[in-house]
Chains A and B, each alone.
Chain A
């Protein structure tokens, strides 16, 4: 056993448990770890709360105590997020047409739909966890939008090649403008659902919400647009998702500032 192993023991669910023999023998030879254990083992007084403070809290909480129905199961919210995602995507495809889908091969279709679906599921799952304080996170919610868009960039880069697009901006802007209108109503609907929970980190939740809303625009464009130039896809298609995430981040930050000022 070394110092790092002891750190794991200290961090693990072992509080109050007797140290294993290996740790004991390490402690005999390591004065640094001995000092650390002694320092952490100092008795820490538990502050007593003044009775008046407790009474004041009780009075404020109990004066209008009414039953609060617990929110429905998380999977219902998850299903709602995905339903909105699919519904708005379907509206977009019906409106713009699935021209790219007809030209893409089966392999590319599977890769694109799987990666977009998995991204939406991950973002939706994390968004639901944001509504319930103290939820478990498999991936850090602050990093998830970044991870998602980096993975999508890599997958799209593997599927498409850099072509010879004559008018990069003139051909790209219409795509960007076509994708954004699907992200905006999605973000509003997601926000209406999010309001039912408690958002503790407005900017993180805003980023996740914007990323998921923007991903609807990305999906619609991937199925609609027949320009397979990689630069066009990364900038004007994926750009809708990234813009959504950034707008959500900003909206969340702004919302947090406003609510703090009100408080």
Chain B
């Protein structure tokens, strides 16, 4: 059995992106295009995990690239690129969240599991990944998303979140513990429902 997780952190791909970043710093438009095209899908996914609508995610994506552009002089050649990119994206997301909260003044009920989408019930009894993630507190969800979806290592996640590796491990552990409890409750509820119907 394989451990779940994204495979996007291949060393050669990272090296290629780092080279592109250095060329982007030197005003190479092709390198900028490569970076935008390669990293935008992952960044959009990163924003989508916290934002309700796609258009909001795309706005955040645009804003993130503008900030990356302004901050490009702070990237040090040889340093890992993805933590640098995600650290900036993370702050764009936090600012976006504050802005939305100010505007809407609505609270998101994160404690309740959203309705399961009808189309995923055919293949599995598990809640969807996004539904599961929405049950986690913000800081734990962020860590699991970065580890599982973006495929970053513990140290890279620590760099992105300006925390220590120990703190990231602790958050991941708490998140997995919480997910186990939720999954057990879901399974018990499903068993009870099937028993009643029988």
List, in ascending order, chain A residues with CB within 8 A of B1's CB: 18-19, 23-24, 27, 37
- A10–B172 touching, CB < 8 Å: yes
Of the stretches A1-9, A172-180, A232-240, the one at the interface is A1-9
Q: Which of B59-81 contact A (CB under 8 A)?
A: 61-62, 65-66, 69-77, 79-80
- B148–A263 touching, CB < 8 Å: no
In angstroms, Cα B154 to Cα A14, docked, is: 10
Contact among A42, A68, A132, A138 with B164 in the assembled complex (CB-CB below 8 Å): A138
Contact among A16, A18, A60, A71 with B66 in the assembled complex (CB-CB below 8 Å): A60
Would you give the shortest CB distance from A29 to chain B, in whole angstroms? 14
- A71–B74 touching, CB < 8 Å: yes
B70's nearest neighbour on chain A, judged by CB, is A198
In angstroms, Cα B178 to Cα A179, docked, is: 49
A103 interface residue (CB < 8 Å to B): no
Contact among A10, A33, A39, A47 with B45 in the assembled complex (CB-CB below 8 Å): A47
Contact among B9, B87, B127 with A134 in the assembled complex (CB-CB below 8 Å): B87
B131's nearest neighbour on chain A, judged by CB, is A39
A260 interface residue (CB < 8 Å to B): yes
Q: Assuming A57-B62, A260-B95, is B36 touching A200 (CB within 8 A)?
A: no
- B180–A32 touching, CB < 8 Å: yes
Q: Which of B34-55 contact A (CB under 8 A)?
A: 36-37, 40-42, 44-45, 48, 54
List, in ascending order, chain A residues with CB within 8 A of B113's CB: none
Interface of B, helix, strand, loop or mixed by DSSP: helix
Which of A's residues lie within 8 Å of B, judged by CB? 3-4, 6-19, 23-24, 27, 31-33, 35-42, 44, 46-50, 53-54, 56-58, 60-62, 65-71, 73-74, 131-142, 197-198, 200-201, 204, 260, 263
A65's nearest neighbour on chain B, judged by CB, is B27
Would you give the shortest CB distance from B64 to chain A, in whole angstroms? 9
In angstroms, Cα B48 to Cα A42, docked, is: 17
A-B CB pair tally, cutoff 8 Å: 219
List, in ascending order, chain A residues with CB within 8 A of B41's CB: 46-49
Interchain Cβ contacts under 8 Å between A and B, 26 examples: A10-B4, A11-B168, A16-B3, A16-B5, A33-B180, A35-B180, A35-B183, A36-B176, A36-B183, A40-B5, A40-B148, A44-B6, A47-B48, A48-B41, A61-B36, A61-B69, A62-B32, A62-B33, A67-B25, A68-B25, A70-B75, A132-B79, A133-B74, A135-B159, A140-B163, A263-B95
Would you give the shortest CB distance from B73 to chain A, in whole angstroms? 4
Contact among B32, B124, B153, B163 with A137 in the assembled complex (CB-CB below 8 Å): B163
In angstroms, Cα B61 to Cα A50, docked, is: 12
In angstroms, Cα B121 to Cα A34, docked, is: 18
- A133–B36 touching, CB < 8 Å: no
List, in ascending order, chain B residues with CB within 8 A of A38's CB: 124, 126
B139-173 toward A: CB 8 Å interface, digit per residue (1/0)?
Answer: 00000000111010111001110111001110011
Chain B residue total in the interface (Cβ 8 A)? 82
In angstroms, Cα B77 to Cα A100, docked, is: 47
- A65–B29 touching, CB < 8 Å: yes
- B126–A197 touching, CB < 8 Å: no
Would you give the shortest CB distance from A59 to chain B, in whole angstroms? 11
- A70–B73 touching, CB < 8 Å: yes
| CB-based closest 10 A-B pairs | A15-B5, A134-B83, A134-B84, A133-B87, A11-B172, A41-B4, A134-B87, A40-B4, A68-B73, A35-B183
